[in-house]
Structure 1
Amino acid sequence: MSQPQDPLTLEVVDLMATLVSVFHKEYEEAAAARSLTGAQAKVLALLRRGPLPMRQIAQTLSCEPSNITGIVDRLEARGLVARQADPEDRRVKRVAATEAGEAASAELRESLHFARAPLAALGPEERTQLRDLLRRMADSAGQR
């Protein structure tokens, strides 16, 4: 039997859920304004780190590989990504953002105003502390 969570933890979880909901809504709207689905925008965002194997994209987004194939097909048709053979295993296909894909991803990211106003309410030290705490949480969740 699991232990009940303390009220502070429950409040933090509720606040995080509220912020995630606001972020997802704005992210979907920003993607749609660029004729992208949310999933297509997420793939482009992942590719900011560099080319990734299709399987890794599927795992990161918790999707079936066949879904990623369709998403990548549509992005490729628009000239936003290109498939490449993995230099270490030519059977593996990696996906890389093209210049147009990088520009679209950067434009979408720049258009997200979700956090600007709330973050502006925090001073530089507070933003640094928040960043460090979020990094620690992401690291412990295996998401960085």
Structure 2
Amino acid sequence: MTPRADPLTVEVVGLIGTVVARYYEEYEQAATEHSLTGAQARVLSLLSVEPLPMRKIAQRLKCEPSNITGIVDRLESRGLVERRPDPADRRVKLAAPTEEGASLAQALRTSLDFAREPLGRLTAAERTLLKELLQKMLGVAPE
């Protein structure tokens, strides 16, 4: 039997949910301003970190590889993504952002104002603490 969550945990989970919902809402809006769907923007953002094969993109975004193929096809037709052979296994194709795609991914990241404004109300020490707490929650090693 799972123990009941205490009221503070319930409230924190609700606040995290609100932040996530606001993030996705603004992310979709930013994507639309660049004539992208939210899914296209997420793929482009993911690829701006590193080139990936379709199956890894699908795993990270928790969707079917066939969906990713269509998204990458549309990004490729716009000149934002290219397919290239994987140097480790030439049978595998990697999706990678073009220079224009990388610039657009950066523009998407910098256009998300909703988080920047509330975070700006926190001191540098508070933002650092928040970052460390989120990393701890996610099991991510601190940078």
Q: Calculate the TM-score normalised by the size of structure 2.
A: 0.94
Counterpart residue type for residue 121 of structure 1: R
How do 1:1-144 and structure 2 match up within 5 A? 1-139=1-139
- What whole-Å deviation, never above 9, does each CA across 1:6-55 have from its counterpart, x for those lacking one? 11111110000011111111100100010000000001111121111111
- What whole-Å deviation, never above 9, does each CA across 1:84-122 have from its counterpart, x for those lacking one? 111111222211111000011111111110111110111
Counterpart Cα distance in 1 of 2:12 and 2:53: 35
Counterpart Cα distance in 2 of 1:99 and 1:127: 31
Counterpart Cα distance in 1 of 2:6 and 2:91: 50
Unaligned runs of 5+ in 2: none
Residues 139, 91 of structure 1: alpha-carbon distance in 2 compared, 3 angstrom cutoff: farther
Counterpart Cα distance in 1 of 2:28 and 2:138: 22
- How many residue pairs match? The answer is 140
Counterpart residue type for residue 65 of structure 2: P
Residues 139, 44 of structure 1: alpha-carbon distance in 2 compared, 3 angstrom cutoff: farther
Secondary structure in structure 2 of the residue aligned to 1:92: strand
- Which segments of structure 1 move beyond 3 Å, counting only runs of 4 or more? none
Q: Calculate the TM-score normalised by the size of structure 1.
A: 0.93
Residues 26, 7 of structure 1: alpha-carbon distance in 2 compared, 3 angstrom cutoff: same
Unaligned runs of 5+ in 1: none
Q: Which moved more, 1:65-74 or 1:112-121?
A: 112-121
Counterpart Cα distance in 2 of 1:114 and 1:46: 20
Counterpart residue type for residue 80 of structure 2: L
Secondary structure in structure 2 of the residue aligned to 1:79: coil
Residues 138, 45 of structure 1: alpha-carbon distance in 2 compared, 3 angstrom cutoff: farther
